[in-house]
Amino acid sequence: MPDTAKTLQLENVAYSWPGRASFDLQVADLTLASSETVLLLGESGSGKSTLLSLICGTIIAGSGRVSVAGTDIAALSAGQRDRFRAEQIGLIFQQFNLLPFASVQDNILLPLRFAPERRKRLSDPNAEAARLCHDLGLPDGVMSSKAGNLSVGQQQRVAAARALIGMPPLIIADEPTSSLDAATQATFLELLFAQSYAHGTTLLMVSHDARLSSQFDRVINMTDIAQTKRDAL
């Protein structure tokens, strides 16, 4: 039986980018437990982006095992991986990747179009989207606003709501606070943690900013878990 207490597990994973003999990433072990908040630190070239691609299944390890919510990613076809990622992983991108001319409500509900199991967990998706907006500190009436008209901080919270809706077991946040001042960063993380704890969601946030360390359950440095060749990107 899969160990569902381990939301994410990498074992003896190795990956080399095709046509780039100068790059090789190896991860002996990385395990994240249910409800855990983890900060992954690493400088440019440390392999963070490659690691996230392996976890999301957009690339497949040459050897070893990548397991999300008890499922071996490599055992799935490309189409199955796309569906699995939509169901099991909520993504918060550095640039948020919102649809600027769509409403906040439509942006938040977008993942549910591709993830019917996430949709089934909600009795009323519209009400859940409104609740997330409220809990993440967005103003009343924001649901009908176009995402492109919001401030950077507001767009960030909409991106978090989009990742959280439907309670996927794993949230991956890729440098989501890099464009924010320290006070806004702290407020955003408090709100994100509260939502993660409330729903038993594991949070993996990638950053190069070690000042955020004290706010997470655990801090992992890429240099401690991964080996890369010199020219890694």
Sketch the domain layout of the chain as residue ranges.
Answer: 6-228
Categorize the per-residue pLDDT at 200 as very low, low, confident or very high, splitting at 50, 70 and 90.
confident
Confirm if 69 and 4 have CB atoms less than 8 A apart.
Answer: yes
Least confident of 39-43, 61-65, 84-88, 184-188: 184-188
Categorize the per-residue pLDDT at 17 as very low, low, confident or very high, splitting at 50, 70 and 90.
confident
Element (H, E) at 90: strand 89-92
**Owner of token pair 């989009």:** 162
Given a cut of 60, whether residue 72 has pLDDT beyond it is yes
Least confident of 48-62, 137-151, 177-191: 177-191
Confirm if 171 and 203 have CB atoms less than 8 A apart.
Answer: yes
Categorize the per-residue pLDDT at 20 as very low, low, confident or very high, splitting at 50, 70 and 90.
low
* Sequence-distant (≥ 6) Cβ neighbours of residue 203 within 8 angstroms: 36, 37, 38, 171, 173, 192, 193, 196
Among 3.50.50.60, 3.10.105.10, 3.30.70.20, 3.40.50.300, what is the CATH number of 6-228?
3.40.50.300
